[in-house]
Structure 1
Amino acid sequence: MANPFVRNQSFKSVFFKNLVGITLWVPVLMFVEQHVVSVGTIEGRSMKPAFNPETNMLQRDRVLLWKWNKDYKRGDVVILRSPENPEELLVKRVLGVEYDIMKTRPPKKLSLVPVPEGHVWVEGDEQFHSIDSNKFGPVSTGLITAKVIAILFPFSRAGRIDHEGFRKNAVFLSGKRSVK
């Protein structure tokens, strides 16, 4: 008959090795979640119909967020800290990049606004329910925390984000030519 003490020692040894192995991976996983990729939930209706197209308040889109790349282009959907309240996160689409001159919508008083270096112009897809650059102007890219790259849930809408689905009638001047 086997000695029960030996079995316990073996169990303790295996348990300790597994615990150490798991513990060593925790910082790596935390780094990846905070700086590379994570999953988020889209709240609100400012990005309809791209996100949360249903009126059901209980069903929210779960999305894959990419945090590593800081290169933003027109059509990207981004998560950013509100310039008015840094505790609040917003989901908006990039419509203008640095050096563009954007044609604004109300309530902005100026009809044309230049986008300075290191800034982007963001708007919600549902323009009547969006607080965006038309209210607070161009946004520093330093306020952007992630780029939304895919919808994970609901499964019926799962897939990559349509970066071409942004407001086609956004008017901006880029260099010396006007693009519509």
Structure 2
Amino acid sequence: MIVMKRIVGLPGDTVSYHCCLTTCRAPLVVPPGHLWLEGDNKAKSIDSRDYGPVPMALVTGRSVAVVWPPSRMQFV
């Protein structure tokens, strides 16, 4: 299965977040060797707000292009 999320926190970063509903959570420091990932559609995305920091070893690739919308098409 391929999952694509945006990296919003690196090891040592402090992230503030709200769970998908209105539950507030305290700021969290991303532990060493982990990343904080969030999807672009925050209302429907299942991401680090649900399952916590992700081990860097689970990241297997990176985006190389934006293809939608066509007006933003580019290599990154």
Give the distance between the partners of 1:144 and 1:159, measured in 2 at CA: 22
Give the distance between the partners of 1:117 and 1:109, measured in 2 at CA: 24
Post-superposition Cα deviations, 1:44-74, rounded to whole Å, max 9, x if no partner, equal xxxxxxxxxxxxxxxxxxxxxxxxxxxxxxx
Post-superposition Cα deviations, 1:117-173, rounded to whole Å, max 9, x if no partner, equal 111101011100110000001111111111102135786653124xxxxxxxxxxxx
Question: Which structure is larger by alpha-carbon Rg, 1 or 2?
Answer: 1
Do structure 1's residue 103 and structure 2's residue 16 form an aligned pair? yes
Q: Structure 1 pair 112/152, CA: closer, same or farther in 2 (3 Å)? A: closer
The answer for the alignment partner of 1:135 in structure 2 is 50
Q: Structure 1 pair 155/137, CA: closer, same or farther in 2 (3 Å)? A: same
Larger proportion of helix: 1
Q: Structure 1 pair 105/153, CA: closer, same or farther in 2 (3 Å)? A: closer
Do structure 1's residue 116 and structure 2's residue 26 form an aligned pair? no
For structure 1, the residue ranges without an aligned partner over 5 or more in a row are: 1-87, 162-180
For structure 2, the residue ranges without an aligned partner over 5 or more in a row are: none
4+ long deviations beyond 4 Å: 152-157
Report the RMSD for the aligned CA atoms in angstroms: 2.3
Matches within 5 A, 1:50-129: 88-107=1-20, 110-129=25-44
Post-superposition Cα deviations, 1:71-129, rounded to whole Å, max 9, x if no partner, equal xxxxxxxxxxxxxxxxx321100001001121121157632221011111010111001
Q: Between Structure 1 and Structure 2, how many residues are aligned?
A: 74
Post-superposition Cα deviations, 1:15-71, rounded to whole Å, max 9, x if no partner, equal xxxxxxxxxxxxxxxxxxxxxxxxxxxxxxxxxxxxxxxxxxxxxxxxxxxxxxxxx
Of residues 146, 150, 175, the one that matches 2:61 is: 146
Q: Which has the higher contact order (CA 8 A, sep 6+)?
A: 2
1:106 is aligned with what amino acid?
C
2:17 and 2:25 in contact (8 A); partners too: yes
Larger proportion of strand: 1
